[in-house]
Chains A and B, each alone.
Chain A
């Protein structure tokens, strides 16, 4: 690689190509060894013809035609290539930085894990502060000793942490020089308050789902949640038979038959056309009520199985009534009539309930059926098993649209009817032997009035109880466990449902495990049962039902579900050692903390995470709380008062609160007579009541301003999204992002400087210092207020959303956020990136990998716990790399 980072050598690419292939595979590109070899051949050809270097863009254009197999893959390839290039380049740069140190070592050695620059800076900052303070204190002490008049001292007004201007008082007392230790105590003591607040605002925060920018763009939705559905329908015989070839008349002559026929015709040429076997083509129309309609997803899985058998299956979706047309990705919305022209020869499979195909009186609907009559082979696949069929199903099955149950037996019967070329009717059929699944029929209340159970308002308690009981009967205990687990997660999504079904298993299934059987709940039959429930068709479980279902989880079951969800959130890292539990599900907010509340409100996105109290309380292991949550008083006040004066008023209130604290502090000081403790040798006299009103103000303001400075510094965190606010001064931006570095030094300087000047006795008038403090406070506080006002509209909009959610119950927002967390292409969460690396590279803990991880660590702003997690990962991988090199064991 040359100095230009966008120019790549063929050798460099060849060396790092496996990482790109891994990345593409993780994104579900169909890239195999063949493509890898092909790319190597290309690179070798390039190098051999003197094109040893090429621009990254050109290289991407060259690799894409080999590695991509569809327009979508080609479209995304640039992103994957860029991400690969960035990660590889960073790792290489880091390795180069470390190279001089390593070159000194005579033997081969594994590079040390890359340092953690940011963390180290903080540590050194803290380490440096203590001696600096001590040194400063000593300097102050020495200067004071050198400059004090030998005989008398003014009656200093010393207060813990602050002194006012040293105006000479009328009375004078003899005082001995202060011991050095007290100077130190006071100097160090001055730091207690700011350190406390810095700790409070910077170090005590729990980890939550924050979004930070990242140079990596992992698409973990494809990585971790893909394939959760397992191999649904894989063993279905019916699906296999649907792929049997048909014999089609051919234009060519069947030579043998023609010869035979010609001979039989006494030499008169009698051509006989041949037949050739052809794979059938299918058009699948799937009734989809919602993007997360599980029944539609289940049907889609079935069509995918057909496609895996090399069949041409075009899948289109419609909602409710197919007469208006159907659509699919990239196909637009097409009327059925047009479809019938385009795919007339295909077999039509309609995956749907039977209701849309029936009239009110239960007779087959003529309009819809007529529309489908353009297809010679058309079939309706209903999720209702044959055992549950009633007169309506049987009536429809006897009409022009053959109906089959969507299960193995149903598809087998369908395949047989196709092979026999005779329409089979199940109108009079009995349930197939052995096909009766455990569990009763779908509860009538759910069949007849599904929408009622989707409402946010809870039905009366008896009705809920009946519903739970009927569900228990319908789903069996295994299905209920699955349903309850799905209810704990704040969204109903296909991948999560399948994941939970795969992860969970029935209690007491050890015998099955020992026998090698798969004890997971994820079976075709059970999933189909679950998918028929209205909540899985519409992709939402109302919170009142979630609460009931979660409450029904036993202790052990709850723990298993919790563990599964936890694993889901950290994307199931391969080893437990490398996958410490997720800490993203902690409640970020205690309602009583006004400062944090306002900061949190202003900084959270619309679909705020951790607002789903059901999920949070479940993940914490606590007993689910009632859903109705009173809006906190402070929040209500914020919501009601939405003009800027109210914001200013709240700031004034905060000011008043701080004044009160300052008073309390001052009063506490007054009550302590240091002389009584220290005797006549004390350098400082006890704090006496202010002798005048201005002095009292000065004393108060001293405390107050310091308090405000630190407190506001912490609160300035809410202005972090300043990149969108070009008008915000750069200083404020720095303060927002680097409050440790920016706030501490000026505060310390002001405090110590004030202390020194006061001790010297020659300090300028206290009012000047008051003005200086006020100016600093106003600058910071004013900027903060500006940001408050600037963001107030947005904050109010968020508050409105929160308020709406809080009113009926507490659910809602987490789902979207967690899914966004899992799916967003630019999330920035460390776990995701760490998992991406672990997923693709854990088997090869090479030094480069360690360097890459370190590059990640270096390049991102991380929260403390995440940082800790990455530290552990890096350490573990590093140790493995060392072991690997020491033992030569490639594992």
Chain B
């Protein structure tokens, strides 16, 4: 499979091979997650206290990946994820009720239809259910559970053993202001009511409370009462050796003997971050994307980026530079980057020699 798939020459006959699968960045692999000391300690504190862990930090800093890493390490896979929307309400975190279906069933006189048939559990509700034995909550389970539950799929036996779960509430700041306010008691005591079933209360086993990870991009301030119930950690942008380690963990083939390539890539990345005029400079996720593309474009671990065709290199910068002004300056920045190497007596400049410099911006 060649690199060029789309030619843009209005000749559709040339494409005969099926499209290749997209490149994997490796971000989804929980085993490759590298947590800093502070994050590690914050997770431990949250686990000991049984409180939700609220994570903030720049985009691409690994907030979302933490929960899958945690679930993987603790053996609570799969993680249960709730993706917050701007229309989310607190109830959505626990369950969804198909009111229209229920109306329809009543109207079409489906006599065997029960109210529970129209209920489906979502992330935190599912975690609470899974902390109980089937026998304890048999009457609160919709038909086909758990196989019908999207998030656990076929991962559980029909008669599962009670277990703890890792629940990710992603980007909570997208939700309306009332969302976190309506969750205060529920996330503290891990219970919820189902008015559609006669206000039945479903409560997590006190010994098996869900482990809740909440992420926020800090676009909105969260209520103080909610913050008070959380353990907080702001993931800083990884610096120096840690960034290098993350790259090595995620993109293994570049890490092997990758002194020149990785060092020069981190150096260029640091330069672009430093010079970026965007509100958010490129983050770790973009770096990994870029390195993946570089590998595909023929970058070799034992060759510095400076030895690469500048035009080719520039064509990959779109994964890093998302701001029009930055994109326009991309060529100049590459020239500056290359100029360092051409200075006599220095192959890559002082910063290139030390990959720790990559994170210093």
Check if A and B associate: yes
B220 touches which one: A38, A71, A312 (CB < 8 A)?
Answer: A312
Residue numbers in B under 8 Å from A604 (CB-CB): none
Which stretch, B98-106, B198-206, B288-296, touches the partner chain A? Answer: B98-106
Residues B228 and A310 in contact, CB atoms below 8 Å apart: no
Q: Count of chain A residues with Cβ under 8 Å from any Cβ of B?
A: 42
Residues A281 and B177 in contact, CB atoms below 8 Å apart: yes
Residue numbers in A under 8 Å from B87 (CB-CB): 251
Q: Is A800 an interface residue (CB 8 A)?
A: no
CB-CB under 8 A for A269 and B99, given A61-B37, A65-B231, A278-B176 = no
Q: Give the interface size bracket for B toward A.
A: 35 or more
B160-184: contact bitstring with A at CB < 8 Å (1 yes, 0 no)?
Answer: 0000000000000000111001000
Residue of B nearest to A267 (CB): B107
Residues B41 and A70 in contact, CB atoms below 8 Å apart: no
Residues A312 and B221 in contact, CB atoms below 8 Å apart: yes
A1-48 interface (Cβ within 8 A of B): 30, 32, 34-35, 38, 41-42, 45
Q: Is A804 an interface residue (CB 8 A)?
A: no
Residues B42 and A331 in contact, CB atoms below 8 Å apart: no
Residues A65 and B279 in contact, CB atoms below 8 Å apart: no
* Cβ of A842 to closest chain B Cβ, rounded Å: 28
B28-60: contact bitstring with A at CB < 8 Å (1 yes, 0 no)?
Answer: 000000000110011011101100010011000
Residues B99 and A253 in contact, CB atoms below 8 Å apart: yes
Residues B177 and A279 in contact, CB atoms below 8 Å apart: yes
CB-CB under 8 A for A65 and B45, given A281-B177, A312-B221 = yes
A69-104: contact bitstring with B at CB < 8 Å (1 yes, 0 no)?
Answer: 111001100000000000000000000000000000
CB-CB under 8 A for A310 and B41, given A70-B234, A74-B234, A331-B279 = no
Q: Is A307 an interface residue (CB 8 A)?
A: yes
Among A45, A70, A276, the one with the most B-chain Cβ atoms within 10 Å of its Cβ is A70
Residue numbers in B under 8 Å from A61 (CB-CB): 37-38, 41-42
Query: In the complex the two chains form, what is the Cα distance from A65 to B54 in whole Å?
Result: 9
Query: In the complex the two chains form, what is the Cα distance from A381 to B224 in whole Å?
Result: 28
Residue numbers in A under 8 Å from B308 (CB-CB): none
CB-CB under 8 A for A271 and B100, given A58-B41, A71-B56 = yes
Residues A310 and B181 in contact, CB atoms below 8 Å apart: yes
Query: In the complex the two chains form, what is the Cα distance from A251 to B100 in whole Å?
Result: 11
Residues A334 and B41 in contact, CB atoms below 8 Å apart: no
Residues B220 and A32 in contact, CB atoms below 8 Å apart: no
A321-349 interface (Cβ within 8 A of B): 330-332, 334
Chain A interface, DSSP helix/strand/loop, else mixed: mixed
Residue numbers in A under 8 Å from B177 (CB-CB): 278-279, 281, 310-312
Q: Is B140 an interface residue (CB 8 A)?
A: no
CB-CB under 8 A for A62 and B100, given A71-B234, A307-B221, A332-B279 = no
Residue numbers in B under 8 Å from A334 (CB-CB): 279
Residues A269 and B104 in contact, CB atoms below 8 Å apart: yes
Query: In the complex the two chains form, what is the Cα distance from A710 to B162 in whole Å?
Result: 86
Q: Is A255 an interface residue (CB 8 A)?
A: yes
Residue of B nearest to A31 (CB): B228
Residues A279 and B176 in contact, CB atoms below 8 Å apart: yes
Q: Is A262 an interface residue (CB 8 A)?
A: yes
Q: Is B346 an interface residue (CB 8 A)?
A: no
Q: Is B89 an interface residue (CB 8 A)?
A: yes
Q: Is B121 an interface residue (CB 8 A)?
A: no
CB-CB under 8 A for A269 and B103, given A32-B228, A42-B49 = yes
Q: Is A66 an interface residue (CB 8 A)?
A: yes
B178 touches which one: A69, A267, A278 (CB < 8 A)?
Answer: A278
Residue of A nearest to B40 (CB): A61
Q: Is A64 an interface residue (CB 8 A)?
A: yes
Residues A69 and B232 in contact, CB atoms below 8 Å apart: yes
B102-116 interface (Cβ within 8 A of A): 103-104, 107
Q: Is B233 an interface residue (CB 8 A)?
A: yes
Q: Is B315 an interface residue (CB 8 A)?
A: no
Query: In the complex the two chains form, what is the Cα distance from A255 to B106 in whole Å?
Result: 13
Residues A65 and B181 in contact, CB atoms below 8 Å apart: no
Q: Is B185 an interface residue (CB 8 A)?
A: no
Residues B103 and A258 in contact, CB atoms below 8 Å apart: yes
Query: In the complex the two chains form, what is the Cα distance from A606 to B231 in whole Å?
Result: 44
Residue of A nearest to B99 (CB): A253
* Cβ of A29 to closest chain B Cβ, rounded Å: 11
B48 touches which one: A45, A64, A71, A271 (CB < 8 A)?
Answer: A45
Residue of B nearest to A45 (CB): B48
Q: Is A639 an interface residue (CB 8 A)?
A: no
CB-CB under 8 A for A65 and B41, given A42-B49, A269-B104 = yes
Residues B49 and A74 in contact, CB atoms below 8 Å apart: no
Query: In the complex the two chains form, what is the Cα distance from A514 to B325 in whole Å?
Result: 64
Residues B232 and A68 in contact, CB atoms below 8 Å apart: yes
| 23 pairs, A vs B, C-beta closer than 8 Å | A30-B224, A30-B228, A45-B48, A61-B38, A61-B42, A62-B44, A64-B233, A65-B45, A65-B231, A66-B45, A66-B49, A68-B234, A70-B234, A252-B99, A253-B100, A269-B104, A278-B176, A279-B176, A281-B177, A281-B220, A314-B220, A331-B279, A334-B279
Give 5 nearest A-B pairs by CB, closest first.
A332-B279, A71-B234, A65-B42, A61-B41, A65-B231
